[in-house]
DNA sequence: GCATTCATCATCGTATACAATTTTGTTCTG
DNA sequence: CAGAACAAAATTGTATACGATGATGAATGC
């Protein structure tokens, strides 16, 4: 009855829930009852609370006092702000990354793109979305900026929530082209181009959203994580 | 024997500890024992743990498994990264703020600068440092970017730790000039100038650091918060 | 005399119990 | 039948108890 996840620490559970949210297995507004999560992972409410508090701080869950934890539902303002923050952080970071990228890094990014393709082919769009987000974080890591990478990681996860709520191009989440072009620019150590491509990529993402509050129905915790 | 703080929720305690850290009343490496903090605020370890976890996530305290919580001591790498992240976020945000600032906002910022002066005059450099940090956060709020304001708030607090460890210009923390110049540029709605001034200001801060690990001795919790 | 080992102690990690709050369902009244 | 008031249930907030882990210091062997 327990989850298949080995790490039942607060961080492990938080990471697993974050992944489920990121992959859209736990849609916005899903209630995360402490008892229920505790049963799923086989731990007491104490550690579940720690995990939920962590996710709340990352703005992935909304913690309502005396009323429980829910997967966050970013509003239009937050949706815009998240992408505006990314627009400040990522283009310049992509430039840095392009200037210092190594062959090993290039291979890693290529592998990321391939996995993303495979996930899409296997009909796992949530997984593909997650991998596509990791691509952005990986770039910050290549730029040797762990602090910025952390921020981007948070923003990418929140972007996934935004996409869950406001995405309009149903089915077609074809970021691969943009990522491939970025990879090319970085392989050529063309920092200026990488910066421009990243800027355009983020703008493209933002304009693909329909910010007139389209809401998807909340899901079930047990359904998403397996009984 | 309890603290004078009214709000004994986890968030309230976290905020109070964050303030103490920001104002250098709790220097880096100070041990924050769960029992001790609990006694100071008159709550059980449960709520203290929640507060410490929150601060840990903000990188203000270092949570060592089975060994306790300590006020963080940023290394040289983190010190550099924090200011590099600020350099990406703040100049453009200052430009936005300059373009949309209102007379009420200007008055608020002026009041901030005055309070900062007063604190310095009263021999409360920690308080002045905190207020100077709030000035930066306030700019992001004026730019109407709450998400970025959150990030800057975190970075400013971490900057305070960096300053506690690496500041070399002993005594002279004369940011007021830079802040005054920024205020002037914003009053004139000169976004380009505000952006440049902010960039220079951050660079100035960074170059004022001596990144050859100078460490101040850890302090006492009770001493800092009053028995 | 110094290093190593082991016992003791302090502190943290987790579970559980109970109190407080909210929600829900029922009943009564207009 | 609609609405309000109340009672019951469910859920979260907090405290406490106990087990686990790492630090400290004394005793032992070399």
Q: Quote the pLDDT of residue B9.
A: 87
Per-residue flag: B66 CB under 7 A of strand D = yes
Q: For residue B85, give both structure tokens.
A: 């992240």
- Higher pLDDT residue, A144 or B226? A144
Residue of chain A whose alpha carbon sits nearest to that of B51:
A53
Mark out chain B residues that contact chain A at CB-CB < 8 A: 10, 49-50, 53-54, 57-58, 77-78, 81-82, 84-85, 88-89, 92-93, 145-148, 151
Residue with tokens 């009263």: B122
Our CA angle for A218, A220, A226, nearest 5°, is 145
H, E, C per residue of chain B? CCCCCCCCCHHHHHHHHHHHHHCCCCCCCCEECHHHHHHHHCCCHHHHHHHHHHHHHCCCEEEECCCEEEECCCCHHHHHHHHHHHHHHHHHHHHHHHHHCCHHHHHHHHHHHHHHHHHHHCCCHHHHHHHHHHHHHHHHHHCCCHHHHHHHHHHHHHHHHHHHHHECCCCCCCCHHHHHHHHHHHHCCCHHHHHHHHHHHHHHHHHCECCCCCCCCCCCHHHHHCC
Q: How confident is the model at residue B216 (pLDDT cuts 50, 70, 90)?
A: low
In what order do the strands lie in the sheet containing B31-32? Answer: B31-32, B68-71, B61-64
Beta carbons of B157 and B111 less than 8 angstroms apart: no
Torsion of CA A106, A93, A62, A74, to 10 degrees: -100
Please write the tens of the pLDDT for every residue from B145-162: 999 999 999 999 999 999
Shortest Cα–Cα distance, A89 to chain B (Å):
6
Longest dimension (CA), chain A: 54
Q: Quote the pLDDT of residue B192.
A: 95
CB atoms within 10 A of CB A212: 8
Please write the tens of the pLDDT for every residue from B91-139: 999 999 999 999 999 999 999 999 998 988 888 888 999 999 999 999 9
Q: Outline where chain A has alpha helix (H).
A: 10-22, 34-41, 45-57, 76-100, 103-121, 125-142, 146-166, 176-187, 191-207, 221-225
Task: Average the pLDDT over A206-217 and give the result.
Answer: 72
Q: Quote the pLDDT of residue B212.
A: 74
Beta carbons of A17 and A55 less than 8 angstroms apart: yes
Contacts of B151 in chain A (CB under 8 A): 85, 151
Task: Average the pLDDT over A212-216 and give the result.
Answer: 62
Instruction: Give percent of chain B with pLDDT exceeding 70.
Output: 88
Collect all residues with Cβ–Cβ distance below 8 Å to A188 and sequence separation of at least 6: A98
From A77, A89, A148, residue closest to B81, measured CB to CB: A148
Residue of chain A whose alpha carbon sits nearest to that of B82:
A147
Q: Quote the pLDDT of residue B150.
A: 97
Which residues share a beta bridge with A209?
A167
- Report the CATH number of the B10-72 domain: 1.10.10.10
Type and span of the H or E element at A31: strand A31-32
Q: Is residue A1 predicted with pLDDT exceeding 50?
A: no
Mark out chain A residues that contact chain B at CB-CB < 8 A: 10, 49-50, 53-54, 57-58, 77-78, 81-82, 84-85, 88-89, 92-93, 145-148, 151
Q: Is residue B68 predicted with pLDDT exceeding 70?
A: yes
Please write the tens of the pLDDT for every residue from A143-179: 999 999 999 999 999 999 999 988 877 656 667 788 9
> Which nucleotide's C1' is closest to B36 (Cα)?
C11
- Report residue A63: phi and psi, to 5°: -100, 110
Can you say whether the dihedral through the CA atoms of A105, A110, A113, A114 is positive or negative? negative
Q: Quote the pLDDT of residue B217.
A: 57
Spell out the domain ranges in chain A.
Answer: 10-73, 76-207
Q: Quote the pLDDT of residue B57.
A: 95
From A10, A85, A145, residue closest to B151, measured CB to CB: A85
- Report residue A32: phi and psi, to 5°: -115, 85
- Higher pLDDT residue, A137 or A8? A137
What's the CATH fold of domain B76-207? Answer: 1.20.120
Please write the tens of the pLDDT for every residue from B151-192: 999 999 999 999 998 887 765 666 778 899 999 999 999 999
Q: How confident is the model at residue B221 (pLDDT cuts 50, 70, 90)?
A: low
Q: Quote the pLDDT of residue B8.
A: 83
User: Is residue A199 classed as helix, strand or coil in its secondary structure?
Assistant: helix
Can you say whether the dihedral through the CA atoms of B17, B20, B22, B25 is positive or negative? negative
Strands A31-32 and B61-64 come out as unpaired
Beta carbons of B173 and B125 less than 8 angstroms apart: yes
Average pLDDT value for chain A:
88
- Report the CATH number of the A10-73 domain: 1.10.10.10
Q: Quote the pLDDT of residue A125.
A: 86
Q: Is residue B11 predicted with pLDDT exceeding 70?
A: yes
Q: Quote the pLDDT of residue B44.
A: 94
Shortest Cα–Cα distance, B117 to chain A (Å):
32
| Reported ipTM | 0.87
Q: Quote the pLDDT of residue B177.
A: 83
Per-residue flag: B222 CB under 7 A of strand C = no
User: Is residue A164 classed as helix, strand or coil in its secondary structure?
Assistant: helix
């Amino acid at each position: 009855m327990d989850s298949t996840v080995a790490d039942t620490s607060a961080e492990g559970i938080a990471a697993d829930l974050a992944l489920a949210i990121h992959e859209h297995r736990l849609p916005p507004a899903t209630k995360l009852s402490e008892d229920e999560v505790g049963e799923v992972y086989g731990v007491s409410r104490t550690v579940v609370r720690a995990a939920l508090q962590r996710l709340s701080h990352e703005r992935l869950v909304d913690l309502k006092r005396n009323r429980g934890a829910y997967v966050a539902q970013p509003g239009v303002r937050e949706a815009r702000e998240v992408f505006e923050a990314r627009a400040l952080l990522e283009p310049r970071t992509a430039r840095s990354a392009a200037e210092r990228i190594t062959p090993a890094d290039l291979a890693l990014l290529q592998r990321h793109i391939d996995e993303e393709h495979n996930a899409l082919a296997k009909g796992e769009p949530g997984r593909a979305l997650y991998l596509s987000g990791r691509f952005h974080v990986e770039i910050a890591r290549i730029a040797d900026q762990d602090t910025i990478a952390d921020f981007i990681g948070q923003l990418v996860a929140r972007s996934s929530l935004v996409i869950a709520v406001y995405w309009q191009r149903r089915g077609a989440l074809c970021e691969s082209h943009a990522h491939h072009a970025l990879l090319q620019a970085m392989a050529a150590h063309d920092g200026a181009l990488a910066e421009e491509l990243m800027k355009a990529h983020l703008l493209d993402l933002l304009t693909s959203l329909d910010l007139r509050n389209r809401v998807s129905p909340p899901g079930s915790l047990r359904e998403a994580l397996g009984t």
